[in-house]
Amino acid sequence: MRQVQPLPINLPLAPTLAQRVSQLREFRNLTVRDLSELSRFPHKRIEEIEAGFESWLSATDRQLLSKALSVEPGLLEEVEVRTVTSDSFELYAAEKRLAANILEGARGLPCPYCGKAVRASVQEGFDIKGLPVRLAKAFCTKCPFVLR
């Protein structure tokens, strides 16, 4: 088991995810290959993160990478930037409208990706506090769209 020292309090942390991952990797005296093995990410993905091609990580990926770097996940999360394009925003809005329509009981609704009819249902259950919740579910039979 490797021993890791805590980050110095006076260490100025890099302002971007790419720079911070590289900085922390070098501070831990790891190569890209070492970090790849510790995080179970492909070598190419580590290179892409450090090159700035990826500026946001899923919660699972953030956990894996922060564990490999021996830091708290928040140190990576605070510099992540989720890029929102007008296309992704419009698709998100269309998915929200679809979900609202499903919950209102509408049928024969179009897929936001391809326009074909989706198969939809309402899932009923309880939240963590025991309160009833209703969730819209849908998938398209013609394209990969899934509303979860």
Based on the structure, what is the number of domains in the chain? 2
Q: Are residues 22 and 65 in the same domain?
A: yes
Query: Quick one: pLDDT at residue 88?
Result: 67
Helix (H, G, I), strand (E, B) or coil at 3: coil
| Residue 59: burial class (beta carbons within 10 Å; 0-12, 13-18, 19+) | exposed
Sequential pLDDT tens for the chain (148 residues): 567 788 988 989 999 999 999 999 999 999 999 999 999 999 999 999 999 998 989 889 999 999 999 999 999 999 998 766 666 678 778 889 999 999 999 999 999 888 899 999 999 998 888 899 999 999 988 888 888 7
Q: Are residues 97 and 73 in the same domain?
A: no
**Confidence (pTM):** 0.58
Q: Are residues 55 and 95 in the same domain?
A: no
Nearest to 77 by CA among 9, 1, 20, 147: 20
Q: Is 4 a domain residue?
A: no
Query: Quick one: pLDDT at residue 15?
Result: 95
Torsions phi, psi of 65, nearest 5?
-70, -40
What's the rounded Cα separation, in Å, for the pair 57 and 63?
A: 9
Tell me the residue range of the domain where 113 lies: 86-147
Torsions phi, psi of 39, nearest 5?
-90, -15
Q: Are residues 92 and 55 in the same domain?
A: no
Q: What is the CATH number of the domain that holds 73?
A: 1.10.260.40
Strand partners for 118: 140
Q: Are residues 104 and 132 in the same domain?
A: yes
Q: Is 11 a domain residue?
A: no
Q: Is 129 a domain residue?
A: yes
